[in-house]
A and B are shown apart, each in its own frame.
Chain A
């Protein structure tokens, strides 16, 4: 099956750009020689550099998105919306509502407008999560922000100067710092015994071909051969 790709016209900062249907805004800009028009990082939806606002001539709802994931559509008007990062705030070994409030004094200023949730390109329930932060439900908050790429749009659109994604990271890091990791007890971190050196010496003996043979044996049996 061979179909010729349809051409659509979008505009970026007012400049018309011809694009192939199905490609992303970033790739359309590359083809048009306008790659510098929108700040770009990973080109895979993971770094949050290419934040944009989108409008449609026909009044269809637009909003915010990542230009590297958003396919072009006829009549789409794209405006770069780079969000500068703000200074980091050290996490706490004893995370609770009081220490979060001390780290982020605007925690309780949220007026529940929901803009942050609408702005999030990762479909995180941002506003609900801010309310959970106010109640100290940190396990849920950490879960909410698992997919956060720190594009900063939730903070950018907040009229009340709440910093949802920064708080989300603070909660996650603080929980990470303070939780128990039974897999990392002393016995799993320190290996000892006669076997240890014997096994290394088994794996390091012989010409390259012999070593490969020994490594194959070891991975199959979990121990050195005779």
Chain B
């Protein structure tokens, strides 16, 4: 296995015993900053301002997102919404945040529809492996959780949102447990807690390396037992408004029938998740098929401020061999229990438990300076020394605690208990998003948002285990706020879109795409209305000039 890297693997094996005892290399704050500034993709200037919408001219966006923000809607000119569905609450998104909101609304007496582009639960939530944070021990506190997350987010976090997150941590674990989530326990029944990068005490609860899957399958099952009406394969393509700035529903695209469906709602909760499938700078992603930032586009068009959308999380340990697993996650927990990160010489170059952004920068640096391990599939990465876990914690530890990793690599003949893995940063999480208040309400009347689509909570770098907590706390909180403040039904029109389109006319070079994108460009899947001739619809434009490798290769543009 991997005999093309035999020399390097021997060095790793030879130094293993000695490394097991060594403390991690320490970095000063200045050295961390230098790694970020020189090597982290967020800091390379691949961004620009846009010429439309509430942040026009004032804020920078990644180039790929900027193009979408300046794109026209796929809704045909002249389309007038004739209401097909009337509901009290429309939840857009079928991941953890949407499901938590639906469950919370189940007893409210309000009529609830949940629309999702794929199926209920086909979301980044199921792919969250490592865990969920909550301050539950004597040596810990909600303030310490806050302090860790605030430092991790470089102090750019909205402190009010972050305080809510931390204060509701323990209660959220209770809520999830009462729904039937089985978090790993120690012998005495207390939860087994691990460290995450940037946590000062063990605070991360897990269900092996399937924590998000455990939470999502339980939430999904619970939602299916409520009267919530689920609209699967229904993508939100536009928000409806009353002409005076209040959100009053949405236009959905039913992928099966190819028709547009207009929904009138008194309240809309956006829980559409992130945008890893925009593949910024050609990076591979750990995200699901639908993670194309749709919610950002819809809310921005209506006038919502976006914050920190120039900040993305590149998860340091994305798999980069075998090719079929490129971009997929190897959980941070595996570093928390001892796996070290090594360059081609078998040398440790960084503290593996430093925050994700700094570690990602450090790995990119090693590879950029030719200390990475080249693969036969034209990628390069660094070693994640998984056999060290067995050396430190005893044989069988990986299989017991990380069945997911074993399962995924085993089918390619790689046993992580015996063989180090090759990793390289993968586009993982959208740190920024739609601005919300501490109750999940956006800048607009009638519109709430929760989860990865929102910005502010995590600052410019999220700690492991804070996103599963985010969707739980803020999914529920948005729903509670809706129950309290739901407005009366107003007319549902496309006035907001018309105004946005007028703004687009002013732009010199509007994008030839339509947005929301709905599917990754590389998938060639498209928005199409029934009756439209195949292949003649939108989104053709940029494909011609962009040659995609799938999964993409981050070196495509940077290195020969």
A49-B122, A147-B210 known; A44 vs B221 contact (CB < 8 Å): no
B525→A35 contact, CB < 8 A? yes
User: With a CB–CB cut-off of 8 A, which chain A residues contact B376?
Assistant: 1-3
In angstroms, Cα B52 to Cα A28, docked, is 37
B201→A222 contact, CB < 8 A? yes
Task: Tell whether A161 is near chain B: CB-to-CB under 8 Å.
Answer: no
User: With a CB–CB cut-off of 8 A, which chain B residues contact A147?
Assistant: 208, 210, 403-404, 407
Pick the contact of B126 from A47, A172, A220 — CB < 8 Å?
A47
B213→A23 contact, CB < 8 A? no
Task: Tell whether B155 is near chain A: CB-to-CB under 8 Å.
Answer: yes
Task: List the one stretch of A96-104, A111-119, A129-137, A184-192 in contact with chain B.
Answer: A184-192
B147→A215 contact, CB < 8 A? yes
A69-B324, A87-B224 known; A45 vs B136 contact (CB < 8 Å): no
A90-B225, A218-B144 known; A176 vs B126 contact (CB < 8 Å): no
Task: Tell whether A43 is near chain B: CB-to-CB under 8 Å.
Answer: yes
Q: Which of B182, B290, B408 has the largest number of chain A CB atoms within 10 A?
A: B182
Task: Tell whether B28 is near chain A: CB-to-CB under 8 Å.
Answer: no
Task: Tell whether B4 is near chain A: CB-to-CB under 8 Å.
Answer: yes
Task: Tell whether A5 is near chain B: CB-to-CB under 8 Å.
Answer: yes
B328→A44 contact, CB < 8 A? yes
Task: Tell whether A46 is near chain B: CB-to-CB under 8 Å.
Answer: yes
Task: Tell whether B178 is near chain A: CB-to-CB under 8 Å.
Answer: yes
* Residue count of chain A within 8 Å CB distance of chain B: 72
Shortest Cβ distance from A197 into chain B, in angstroms?
A: 10
Q: Which residue of chain B is the closest to A147 with respect to CB atoms? A: B403
Tell me which residues from 161 to 207 in chain B have a Cβ below 8 Å from any Cβ of chain A: 163, 170-171, 173-174, 177-183, 185, 188-191, 200-201, 207
Shortest Cβ distance from A53 into chain B, in angstroms?
A: 17
In angstroms, Cα B217 to Cα A150, docked, is 8
B182→A172 contact, CB < 8 A? yes
A149→B126 contact, CB < 8 A? yes
Pick the contact of A42 from B171, B289, B522 — CB < 8 Å?
B289
Q: Which residue of chain A is the closest to B5 with respect to CB atoms? A: A1
A49→B163 contact, CB < 8 A? no
In angstroms, Cα B61 to Cα A25, docked, is 33
User: With a CB–CB cut-off of 8 A, which chain A residues contact B174?
Assistant: 181, 184, 189
Q: Which residue of chain A is the closest to B122 with respect to CB atoms? A: A41
Task: Tell whether B148 is near chain A: CB-to-CB under 8 Å.
Answer: yes
User: With a CB–CB cut-off of 8 A, which chain A residues contact B121?
Assistant: 41, 47
B144→A41 contact, CB < 8 A? no
A30→B524 contact, CB < 8 A? yes
Q: Which residue of chain A is the closest to B232 with respect to CB atoms? A: A85
A219→B200 contact, CB < 8 A? yes
In angstroms, Cα B147 to Cα A31, docked, is 46
B189→A30 contact, CB < 8 A? no
Tell me which residues from 54 to 77 in chain A have a Cβ below 8 Å from any Cβ of chain B: 69-71
Pick the contact of B189 from A27, A180, A189, A191 — CB < 8 Å?
A180
Task: Tell whether B123 is near chain A: CB-to-CB under 8 Å.
Answer: yes
A169→B221 contact, CB < 8 A? yes
Q: Which residue of chain B is the closest to A199 with respect to CB atoms? A: B143
The 6 closest A-B pairs by CB, nearest first: A41-B122, A173-B180, A176-B180, A212-B155, A218-B147, A88-B224
Subset of 10 A-B contacts with CB under 8 Å: A27-B550, A30-B525, A46-B213, A91-B180, A123-B407, A146-B214, A149-B126, A173-B180, A184-B174, A222-B144
